[in-house]
Amino acid sequence: MSQLPKPDTEGLRAKYPDVFARPASARLAMPAMIVAAFAIFVFGLVDLDFSPSKLLSGLSQLGWITMLMLPPNPGSSFPLYMQALGETLSIALLGTTLAALLALPVSLLAARNIIPSNLIRFPVRRFLDSIRGVDTLIWALVWINVVGLGPFAGVLAIMVSDFGAFGKLFSEAIEAADRKEVEGIRASGGNALHEIRFGLLPQVLPVIAGQVLYFIESNTRSATIIGIVGAGGIGLQLAEQIRVLEWQKVSFLILMILIAVAAIDFISTKLRFAIIGQRAVV
């Protein structure tokens, strides 16, 4: 039986000092980070008024509320809720479509391969970033001041906040497009508009359609909540029923939202695959 040669520990140690004796700073980095993260966590608990007694009484309250939620029961308001749900879906569809229509021309301005000049691209990008930095709910509050309470304010809020997101996503899709097809159009004598129409759009449109569908899906969720500040849809009913402590209706409304979101998910996934074929999603 052959025996393995004894490893030359001393030689290895001399060759790779870092492996055998890591410097203290490298060894301490991980524990130090964990301790720091935990310290901030504890500070946060103290600063945010966490106390075990509050937590316990809250949990028992929550238990009561959950008991009161069962079984979900809409009472006599089922038609009203269905209408509110329809309103929510309308808000999501309309807001997303308008945002996409508005964002398409602006995204051309923010794409590097269309506008090589930093002078225009940079301000356009920062502008889109600022719009995205403001939450949909805040936009809803602003639009309520402008067009009054109701679902229309919700449509406009979703339109504006998605405009920021779409502008960025579309411009990234345009930047990822293949140069060769555009060059081909130019070589055959097309002008700048032809390049965009026949060289870029056929590549970019399927990607954009996929993203728009995905946003309609995620906006169904956003549209359920903008009602909380008064911008229409099922969120308005939900916030009202929570305020008057009608827990059976609350659970019914939450159930409706879950089912609606699942249905939209299912449909848009099917559509997305139909549009973009076997390509990777988004």
Partner 1 sequence: MATAVSILPAQQLAALNETYRKAVARKRLKATLATAVFCAALVIAALGAEVNLKTFFTYFGNFISYFDRILTLDSGARVWTDPVEWFWGLKKWLRLLGETILISYVGTLVGAVLAFALNFFAAQNTSPGPWLRFIVRRLLEFARTVPGIVFALIFVIAFGLGPMAGVLAIAIHSTGALGKLFAEIVENADMKPVEGIRSTGASWLSCMRFAVLPQVSAGYASYALLRFEINVREASVMGFVGAGGIGQELVVAIRKFYYSDVSAILVTIILTVFIIDISTGWLRGRLFGKETRR
Tell me: does residue 129 bind partner 1 (CB under 8 A). Answer: yes
Window 160 to 189, contacts with partner 1 (CB under 8 A):
none
Q: Which residue blocks in the chain are alpha helix, DSSP H? A: 9-15, 17-20, 24-47, 52-69, 78-110, 118-133, 136-147, 151-175, 179-187, 192-194, 201-226, 234-243, 247-276
Tell me: does residue 151 bind partner 1 (CB under 8 A). Answer: yes
Among 157, 182, 257, 268, binds partner 1 (CB under 8 A): 257
103 neighbors 166 (Cβ within 8 angstroms) = yes
Round to whole Å and give the CA distance between 240 and 63: 21
DSSP state at residue 229: G
> Among residues 100 and 108, whose Cβ is nearest to partner 1?
100
Tell me: does residue 37 bind partner 1 (CB under 8 A). Answer: yes
DSSP state at residue 6: P
Crossing angle of the two packed helices 234-243 and 201-226, in degrees rounded to 10: 20
Tell me: does residue 236 bind partner 1 (CB under 8 A). Answer: no
Tell me: does residue 87 bind partner 1 (CB under 8 A). Answer: yes
Site mask for partner 1 (CB under 8 A), range 90-109, x = bound: xx-xx--x------------
Nearest to 169, CA basis, from 107, 221, 92: 107
Q: Which residue has the tokens 């809409």?
A: 74
The residue type found at 17 is: P
Window 262 to 281, contacts with partner 1 (CB under 8 A):
262
Give the footprint of partner 1 on this chain (CB under 8 A). Answer: 37, 40-41, 43-45, 47-50, 54-55, 58-59, 61-62, 65, 86-87, 89-91, 93-94, 97, 129-130, 133-135, 137-138, 141-143, 145-148, 150-152, 154-156, 221-222, 224-225, 228-229, 232, 235, 238-239, 242, 245, 250, 254, 257-258, 261-262
